[in-house]
Amino acid sequence: MIKITTPLSEEVIEKLQIGDEVLINGVIFTARDAAHKKLYELLEKGEELPVNLKGQIIYYVGPTPAKPGRVIGSAGPTTSGRMDKYTPRLLDYGLKGMIGKGLRNKEVQDAIVRNKAIYFAAIGGAGALLSKTIVKSEVVAYPDLGPEAIYRLEVVDFPAIVVIDARGQNLYEVGPEKFRKE
Amino acid sequence: MRNLDVKEIKNAVKTLVVKANQELSTDILNALKVAANNEESEVGKKILQRVIENAQIAKDEELPICQDTGTAVIFLEIGQDVHLVGGDLHDAINQGVREGYSEGYLRKSIVKDPLNRVNTGDNTPAVVHIDIVPGDRVKITVAPKGGGSENMSQLKMLKPADGVEGVKQFVIDTVRQAGSNPCPPIIVGVGIGGTFEKAALLAKKALLREVGTQNPDPFYNSLERELLEKINNLGIGPQGLGGRVTALAVHIETYPTHIASLPVAVNLNCHVARHETVIL
């Protein structure tokens, strides 16, 4: 287990390799489909983003509403591939990491290498477990989007696995290779 | 003729949507435990253990197992000797969904229009399937369905000449293309026959079968086992990171079809395969 803290430096990112299990600490931001579209459009127009995402990690999640007395509801990763259209633009702008689940397209993989960024997977469907690592949560942009709003989360030892590293190695390709029987 | 107030159906739906989202049924939990023992990948084993731990936390703390609390898919079997009174059945179901998703702190994931995407704010409308059956009871099954695995599902109109080999190929290709996206280990629901829409419904119903139950027809039971083995040989593994356990089960449901047709639908479900039933 490797502990890392946000914002991510290139030095830290370069040391991480596919298959490494990390515990993420610090601030991460949530954004899903609708929020990504808005962020992308702002960047295309050359306008400021509502949150500074440089060096930061975006977590693809749409949490359930928090019960009274809780910081957040269940909060596991959603399918990252839906964000592929917008991700290269965000990485070129300065985003350094993403947490989600599932495959990314070639453009995203190239943008990860080009920008020395990193892609982590969290366990899909483990939203109750993951929510326990989130100690603070607040909506910082687009509250009208409901579960798709941008939240600022503070996490303590949030568990994830490196699935695409800064060299472009991809665990979704390499991992299944080892266990394939034809 | 037995009278049943739709308010009872509303109340049942309300309870079931919350329960289904918080408690993983015993069959799935047991299948996950067996999978954790059988998994050869160390990462995969650890993932399966965390998934089991997650289900326990969700149950103990009354939290949703997964943040995607799904489309409320509801199956009703209505006895033909039941007279529904007290209002509109669909309104009652949607009211149950509305109250359950709100009071149960479940995520509202439904948009009003598929292209002009504005959230309805209460997870309605539900997707409702109704069968009229003999008797004077009403059986309600609530199966919240997540978007991640639903999106990886496919339907294909094969030619009769494609036969069983064509079906196998299509099922395996669907799972291979889905890869890590539907949150493996998955349950694979396969509907074969009927018409275009019937095959899809059969595939969805196949997901409701208790994991570990076999198709009563030996031919289809053997096909289920063969497909499960072939799928697990793909090496996709838990969360797609490589491993032995890609699927927990393959369930096939069939229906007579047209001489010209061979529709096949593959409906994938993540490991959070939720369904709760009550009989009124």
Mind listing the pLDDT tens digit for each residue in A135-169? 999 999 999 887 789 999 999 999 999 999 999 99
* Nearest CB neighbour to A103, from listed B51, B61, B181: B181
Where does residue A25 rank: exposed (0-12), middle (13-18), buried (19+ CB within 10 A)? middle
* Domain boundaries, given as residue ranges, for chain B: 2-20+65-145, 148-272
B113 Cβ partners below 8 Å, 6+ apart?
A: none
A122 pLDDT band, cuts 50/70/90, is very high
Query: Residue holding tokens 């964000």?
Result: A83
B123 Cβ partners below 8 Å, 6+ apart?
A: B69, B71, B72, B97, B98, B101, B106, B107, B108, B109, B110
Query: Residue holding tokens 């995607």?
Result: B68
A175, B241 contact by CB (below 8 A): yes
Between A and B, how many residue pairs show a Cβ–Cβ distance under 8 A? 167
Structure confidence at residue A147 (pLDDT):
76
**Shortest CA gap A63–chain B (Å):** 5
Question: Which of B182, B185, B174, B179 has the alpha carbon at shortest distance from B44?
Answer: B185
Q: Say if A81 is an interface residue toward chain B (CB within 8 Å).
A: yes
Distance CA B126, CA A177 (A): 40
A113 pLDDT band, cuts 50/70/90, is very high
Beta pairing partners, B254: B192
Q: What is each CA distance from B260 to A21, B263, B264, B266, in whole angstroms?
A: 52, 10, 13, 20
B271, B32 contact by CB (below 8 A): yes
Q: Say if A175 is an interface residue toward chain B (CB within 8 Å).
A: yes
What sign results for the dihedral spanned by CA atoms B9, B13, B19, B25?
positive
Contacts of A76 in chain B (CB under 8 A): 66-68
Distance CA B11, CA B99 (A): 9
Contacts of B181 in chain A (CB under 8 A): 79, 81, 101-103
Beta pairing partners, B187: B249, B269
Q: Residue B51 above 80 pLDDT?
A: yes
Mind listing the pLDDT tens digit for each residue in A10-57? 999 999 999 999 999 999 999 999 999 999 999 999 999 999 999 999
Q: Residue A182 above 80 pLDDT?
A: no
Cβ contact A175–B43 (<8 Å) = yes
Structure confidence at residue B212 (pLDDT):
82
Distance CA B97, CA B72 (A): 7
* Nearest CB neighbour to A146, from listed B53, B119, B240: B119
Does the reported pTM lie above 0.90? yes
CATH number of B148-272: 3.30.1330
DSSP character string of B197-231: HHHHHHHHHHTTSPTT---SSHHHHHHHHHHHHHH
Cβ contact A64–B63 (<8 Å) = yes
Q: Residue A114 above 90 pLDDT?
A: yes
**Shortest CA gap A110–chain B (Å):** 20
* Nearest CB neighbour to A172, from listed B51, B180, B233: B180
* Nearest CB neighbour to A123, from listed B64, B236, B239: B239
ipTM of the complex: 0.92
**Which strand (E) or helix (H) includes residue A99?**
strand A97-100
Structure confidence at residue A5 (pLDDT):
96
Report phi then psi at B158, rounded to 5: -80, 170
Cβ contact B107–A65 (<8 Å) = yes
Q: Which two tokens stand for residue B122?
A: 């209460």
Query: Residue holding tokens 């592929």?
Result: A84
Detail the DSSP E strand segments found in chain B.
Answer: 2-5, 71-79, 82-85, 127-133, 138-145, 154-158, 186-194, 247-257, 262-269, 276-279
Is domain A2-180 given the CATH code 3.40.50.1260 in the classification?
no
Structure confidence at residue A145 (pLDDT):
86
Q: In whole numbers, what is the pLDDT of chain A averaged over residues? A: 94
DSSP character string of B93-131: HHHHHHHHHHHTT-----BSSSSS--B-SS-PSPEEEEE
Q: Residue A93 above 90 pLDDT?
A: yes
Mind listing the pLDDT tens digit for each residue in B149-200? 999 999 999 999 999 999 999 999 999 999 999 999 999 999 999 999 999 9
* Nearest CB neighbour to A178, from listed B67, B233, B242: B242
